[in-house]
């Protein structure tokens, strides 16, 4: 596939012949692309950055830039991106910091829509989605299949659980429960189970029923969080409910209920 004559590729970059690099793209030193990647135009990738196979980068994406952290002093931190991701226009993804472990990680089969930002030391799980303008501060974890809605700012060190759905424009300052629908109609809180999303992903009616009962303890019953967890533990736990309990117990910033 072609490399456009206006593209600038550092001699130390690794770009397989199967990749397509469009007009005015810049690939810096210590960047490694996998097979069949496509850089449309005006894409900038800086290193150290490792990128897997079959990724598409739309115009003006800025990938692997230095972290926006005043303590950063040119440390050799890096960015790792998996396979089959779509990274749309004006997306920015920063490398890690030494104090955060040194790596920003983006998984596989992820859609990152226009103007989204992934800050330093973030971890994005497989098949997650960041809708237009989603903004992740440093050290954020977005787990598998989670959806961060349009124009959502997410506070640093927040964890967003598997299969969670966050409505557009919601300010996230605490951990988002897995399987939940969380939004800011009047104030930010979880509104219940993301039933439609889970059905689309093949959850059986039995799995949904058991998760619904757990969410009823958490959100609808007259119990505090500790009482709800005790109630869930007292019953026969499915893998989903066990994960939900562990997520809550490990939360450092507290959860949005």
| Of 78, 33, 24, the residue nearest 53 (C-alpha) | 33
CA distance 53 to 223: 48
Bridge partner list, 62: 44, 92
Distance from C-alpha of 71 to C-alpha of 99, rounded to nearest angstrom: 9
CB atoms inside a 10 Å sphere around CB 1:
11
Chain CA centroid to CA 115, Å: 14
Catalytic annotation, residues: 120-121, 138
């Amino acid at each position: 596939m072609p490399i456009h004559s206006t593209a600038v590729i550092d001699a130390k970059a690794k770009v397989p012949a199967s990749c397509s690099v469009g007009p005015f793209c810049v690939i810096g030193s210590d960047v490694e692309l996998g097979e069949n990647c496509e850089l449309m135009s005006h894409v900038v990738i800086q290193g150290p950055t490792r990128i897997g196979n079959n990724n598409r980068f739309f115009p003006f994406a800025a990938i692997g830039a230095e972290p926006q952290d005043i303590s950063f002093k040119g440390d050799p931190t890096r960015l790792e991106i998996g396979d089959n991701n779509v990274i749309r226009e004006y997306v920015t993804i920063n490398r890690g910091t030494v104090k955060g472990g040194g790596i920003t990680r983006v998984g596989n089969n992820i859609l990152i829509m226009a103007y989204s930002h992934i800050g330093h030391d973030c971890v994005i799980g497989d098949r997650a989605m960041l809708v237009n303008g989603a903004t992740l501060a440093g050290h954020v974890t977005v787990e598998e299949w989670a959806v961060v809605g349009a124009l959502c700012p997410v506070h640093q060190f927040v964890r967003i659980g598997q299969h969670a759905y966050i409505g557009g424009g919601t300010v996230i300052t605490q951990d988002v429960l897995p399987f939940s629908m969380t939004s800011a109609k009047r104030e930010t809180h979880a509104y219940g189970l993301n039933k439609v999303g889970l059905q689309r992903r093949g959850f059986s009616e039995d799995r949904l029923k058991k998760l619904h009962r757990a969410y009823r303890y958490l959100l609808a019953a007259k119990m505090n969080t500790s009482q709800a967890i005790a109630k869930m533990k007292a019953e026969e736990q499915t893998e989903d409910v066990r994960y939900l309990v562990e997520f809550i117990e490990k939360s450092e910033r507290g959860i949005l209920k």
